[in-house]
Amino acid sequence: MVTLPTLIPISEAARKYGLDEAHLRQLVEKGKIRAGVVAGEMVVSEEEVRSESVTRKEDLPEWKQFAHLNDKGIGLAEAAEKYRVNIPTIYRWYKTGIIKEIGRKTVRGGTKILLNEADVAYCVFVYQTSRWSQGKRVFNKSGLPYTTTR
């Protein structure tokens, strides 16, 4: 099934994402954002505008809803149990840098990695609401939700 892009007027996209309309027009001219004309008004792909305006996962509304958990440490096993996601999945997000380490704690002769719980909650939320099926990419290299069509 093909997913069609959501198109919004360029003026609305500029307002919604805090960008200059002239800058958006330049991105259209350079081919970085797809655009079209509907009823005499230029419309742009909202997804592409969003990806141009957001460079960090912390800027996303998906992450901001968990900001109250920022810098709160949670262990790997505790995170897996609390968020009902298997340990290898959370560990993979940690190893790729999407989940930040905020410290380490010595426990019974070993070291426990403390993960940023806001990052864990964000990753789980995106993973659970993703349209991608198991085994597919959920995040791009920047830690943003992966949005390329299948």
Closest CA relative to residue 44, chosen from 33, 32, 52, 30: 33
What number is the average pLDDT over the span 73-81?
A: 96
Q: Report the percentage of the chain scoring pLDDT > 90.
A: 47
At 92, is the pLDDT very low, low, confident or very high (cuts 50, 70, 90)?
very high
For helices 76-83 and 87-95, the axis angle rounded to 10 degrees is: 120
Question: How far apart, in whole angstroms, are the C-alpha atoms of residue 32 and residue 52?
Answer: 9
Name, in order, each residue with C-beta under 8 angstroms of 140's C-beta and a sequence gap of 6 or more. Answer: 146, 147
At 131, is the pLDDT very low, low, confident or very high (cuts 50, 70, 90)?
low
Mean pLDDT of the chain: 86
Residue 104 CA: distances (Å) to CA of 19, 72, 110, 111, 122: 40, 12, 10, 6, 21
Q: Report the percentage of the chain scoring pLDDT > 70.
A: 89
pLDDT by residue (tens digit) across 59-74?
788 999 999 999 999 9
pLDDT by residue (tens digit) across 102-125?
999 998 888 999 999 999 999 999
pLDDT by residue (tens digit) across 119-130?
999 999 999 887
Q: Which of 9-18, 24-33, 79-88: highest mean pLDDT?
A: 79-88
**Residue indicated by tokens 């996601």:** 85
Look up the pTM and report it: 0.62
Report the sign of the C-alpha dihedral through residues 35, 40, 46, 50, in that order. Answer: positive
Answer whether 138's CB lies under 8 Å from 122's CB: no
Q: What is the CATH number of domain 59-129?
A: 1.10.10
Q: Among the residues of 33-148, which ranges form H helices?
A: 46-53, 61-64, 76-83, 87-95, 117-129
pLDDT of residue 55: 62
